[in-house]
Amino acid sequence: MSLWPSRNIWLTRASLGTGWGSISLLKRLDTENYNVVVISPRNYFLFTPLLPSCTTGTVEHRSIMEPVRTILRQKKGRVTFYEAEASSIDPERKVVRIFDTSEIKGSTTETEVPYDMLVIGVGAENATFGIPGVREHSCFLKEIGDAQKIRKRIMDCVETAMFKDQSPEEIDRLLHMVVVGGGPTGVEFAGELQDFFQEDIKKLVPEIADRFRVTLIEALPNVLPMFSRQLIEYTERSFKEEKINIHTKTVVKKVNEKSVEAEVTLPDGTKETIVFPYGLLVWATGNAVRPVVRDLMSKIPAQKNSRRGLAVNEYLVVQGTRDIWAIGDCAVAGYAPTAQVAAQEGTFLARLFNNMAKTEALEEKIRHLSSSLNLEPGNSAEISQEIAELERKLRRIKDVKPFQYSHQGSLAYIGSEKAVADITWFNGNVAAAGSLTFLFWRSAYVSMCFSMRNKLLVINDWLKSKVFGRDLSRE
């Protein structure tokens, strides 16, 4: 399809989401060229890599949030923001249906936003695979609210376990923290939780020193399957030392109010059901497609065979459409659903759209000069030279290469001030683990924080929790 349709410059470019993809697009987009509308139920950008640290108070949640309004204020052109959720997209009429999901409602709670060009960056929701009881009884770890809920529940379990005359079985259940999913989210959370217990809870509530347990359940034979073999082994060894129980080849089949039922595959291939009583259950089994994306996919015949999200071409255009692009976790472009990918896709689209606007301006100028050729025959040589120069410039701008992801490496915190890193180095791969890697992990993530304000707040939180310990109050 043509990437360079001719049209008026003042187009409405609607963007759904304020996550990694959309915000990196917005940051670099020349908003003077478009009438930009941003729609998201979240009026802030969330720095997800430090979200597991918020569950224990190592980092405070506001330190990793950046208000959208602050970001918009830095743009030269005007950008409209609607705090709303997109419920459906009509690609025929080119409108997005939005509704107010916030607590306070005005007289209008639902309306439509027309668009000329639409970028979808709504991310993904939590996968539950339809397993009964997951939504009712477990905590997810994707949003700020999830981290706050977990933080409260950890301390609720501890204080309830200390309740007068609590039975020993109930104390063991309440102090059993179960994490389902051994991907990076589950591993990082388990590490942060064990740190919280070792460094703070144990000191202030010594009565539970021998009872608090963290268990990680993973369906595959190993945790962190995307990391190299030696880092997987390092993580599993380190968890053993930290006394985090790992149950691999164990698939959770049902979640009850106070226990999970899982099926474990034994070495001889037979299967056995194990029941894990829990006080806190954190569910981290990856991504699923959001309803608004699923609904759009059902309206586009070319998306019929796509299962994991909107299939896009090499310019991130949604297959089967002309004016819709998709980035980040909601797009299927052949890359892992990570912040790195989403951010690079957003940057790519900003360059593409900036070029499109420049192209249209140049084309307009060439049209104007061409028409003046006949009117000013005396200046024709000069005008023709100017046209040729502009046409050369136009060809250069139009020559945008397809999106190509550049992998910088993978990093994960595994607790006890240790991290693992698979880093791309001169076309090769370097695997590193331990305390120095932890310092690298911290410096890499602090340098990636959205603003100077975020960076300083995060560093301050790290210092504060190291010097004074984490806060055990339950808000």
> Among 403, 425, 413, 225, which Cα is nearest to 328's?
403
Can residue 123 be called a binding residue for ligand FAD (CB under 6 A)?
Answer: yes
The secondary structure of residue 197, as a DSSP letter, is I
Q: How far is the CB of 142 from ligand FAD (least distance, A)?
A: 5
Residues contributing to the site for ligand NAD (CB under 6 A): 49, 129, 131, 180-186, 188, 217-220, 225-226, 251-252, 284-287, 336-338, 410-412
Q: How far is the CB of 8 from ligand FAD (least distance, A)?
A: 26
Can residue 183 be called a binding residue for ligand FAD (CB under 6 A)?
Answer: no
Can residue 342 be called a binding residue for ligand FAD (CB under 6 A)?
Answer: yes
- Residue 19, SS3? coil
- Residues near ligand FAD (CB under 6 A), total: 33
Q: Are 171 and 294 in contact (CB under 8 A)?
A: no
Decide whether 123 or 320 has the Cβ nearer to ligand NAD.
Answer: 123
Can residue 340 be called a binding residue for ligand FAD (CB under 6 A)?
Answer: yes
Q: How far is the CB of 414 from ligand FAD (least distance, A)?
A: 13
Q: Which does 39 bind (CB under 5 to 8 A by kind): ligand NAD, ligand FAD, none?
A: ligand FAD
Residues in the chain: 475
In which order are the strands placed within the sheet that holds 34-40?
79-83, 34-40, 11-16, 117-120, 324-326
Q: What is the C-alpha separation between 182 and 432, in angstroms, rounded?
A: 19
Choose the binding region for ligand FAD from 17-25, 231-239, 360-368, 460-468 (rule: CB under 6 A).
17-25
Decide whether 132 or 402 has the Cβ nearer to ligand NAD.
Answer: 132
Can residue 15 be called a binding residue for ligand FAD (CB under 6 A)?
Answer: no
Decide whether 154 or 411 has the Cβ nearer to ligand NAD.
Answer: 411
Choose the binding region for ligand FAD from 19-27, 355-363, 364-372, 425-433 (rule: CB under 6 A).
19-27
Task: Show the tokens assigned to 116.
Answer: 């000329």
Helix (H) or strand (E) holding 178: strand 176-180
Q: What is the C-alpha separation between 461 and 237, in angstroms, rounded?
A: 29
Can residue 17 be called a binding residue for ligand FAD (CB under 6 A)?
Answer: yes
Q: How far is the CB of 442 from ligand NAD (least distance, A)?
A: 13
> Among 350, 391, 347, 348, which Cα is nearest to 367's?
391
Non-local (6+) Cβ contacts of 410 within 8 A are: 184, 226, 227, 421, 422
Q: Are 11 and 361 in contact (CB under 8 A)?
A: no
In which order are the strands placed within the sheet that holds 176-180?
244-247, 213-217, 176-180, 280-283
Q: Which does 290 bind (CB under 5 to 8 A by kind): ligand NAD, ligand FAD, none?
A: ligand FAD
Choose the binding region for ligand FAD from 154-162, 300-308, 338-346, 452-460 (rule: CB under 6 A).
338-346
Q: How far is the CB of 285 from ligand NAD (least distance, A)?
A: 4
CA dihedral sign, ordered 312, 315, 321, 326: positive
**C-alpha count within 13 angstroms, C-beta hemisphere, residue 430:** 9
Q: What is the C-alpha separation between 3 and 279, in angstroms, rounded?
A: 54
Decide whether 13 or 442 has the Cβ nearer to ligand NAD.
Answer: 442
Chosen residue from 21, 182, 309, 320 binding ligand FAD by CB under 6 A: 21
Tell me which residues in 29-48 interact with ligand FAD (CB under 6 A).
Answer: 39-42, 48
R_g of the chain, CA atoms, integer Å: 26
Can residue 415 be called a binding residue for ligand FAD (CB under 6 A)?
Answer: no
Q: How far is the CB of 20 from ligand NAD (least distance, A)?
A: 11
Residue nearest to ligand NAD (CB): 183
Can residue 285 be called a binding residue for ligand FAD (CB under 6 A)?
Answer: no
Decide whether 338 or 465 has the Cβ nearer to ligand NAD.
Answer: 338
Can residue 309 be called a binding residue for ligand FAD (CB under 6 A)?
Answer: no
The secondary structure of residue 79, as a DSSP letter, is E
Each residue of 185-219: b (16+ CB within 10 Å) or e?
bbbbbbbbbbbbbbbbbeeebeebeeebbbbbbbb
**C-alpha count within 13 angstroms, C-beta hemisphere, residue 300:** 27
Can residue 146 be called a binding residue for ligand FAD (CB under 6 A)?
Answer: no
Residues that bind ligand FAD (CB under 6 A): 16-22, 39-42, 48-49, 51-52, 85-86, 121-123, 141-142, 185, 290, 292, 328-330, 337-340, 342
